[in-house]
Amino acid sequence: MGGQKHRTATRGQGTSMITFETTSNANAERNRRRNERFAGPFDGLRTGMLDTPLSIFDLSQGGCFVNSMHEQTPGVRFTMKIQLPYVGVITLKAETLYLRSGFGFAVRFVDVDDETASLLEQALERLQNV
């Protein structure tokens, strides 16, 4: 939720004026993020009984946004593969955080082993230097 601060200023004849400064939800969301994001797109795959292609945006060490027309319930865990420049394909477990109807859903990476975390970090560091 966006925060709201107010400031009271006194004007002539004892009248006061209250102004509001609003912090947008988008700013609050950005401030909450811990890792630098890379816009993408990156190619991915949701693995399972039927592998589904994914288009991935806002990739970070902690998660990403999956562009999808399909609804995804928050809290659902699944396995995904991401094709990364410089390091190739990595496999991650992801958990849905929230969805934006008609656009896709955000995920965080869970139970990431050291080798996968290192590969993801290497790819993101190289992208940062491009």
Collect all residues with Cβ–Cβ distance below 8 Å to 98 and sequence separation of at least 6: 74, 105, 106
Confidence label for 98 from pLDDT (cuts 50, 70 and 90): very high
pLDDT at 129 over 70: yes
Mean pLDDT of 107-126: 95
CA distance linking residue 63 with residue 56, whole number of Å: 10
Q: With b meaning 16 or more CB within 10 Å and e meaning fewer, what string describes 1-15? A: eeeeeeeeeeeeeee
Q: pTM above 0.75?
A: no
Round the average pLDDT of the chain to a whole number and report it: 79
Token pair, residue 119, equals 């590969």
| Per-residue confidence (pLDDT) for residue 32, from 0 to 100 | 46
pLDDT at 65 over 80: yes
Collect all residues with Cβ–Cβ distance below 8 Å to 52 and sequence separation of at least 6: 45, 46
* CATH number for the segment(s) 36-128: 2.40.10.220
- The residues spanned by each domain of the chain are 1-32, 36-128
CA distance linking residue 28 with residue 32, whole number of Å: 6
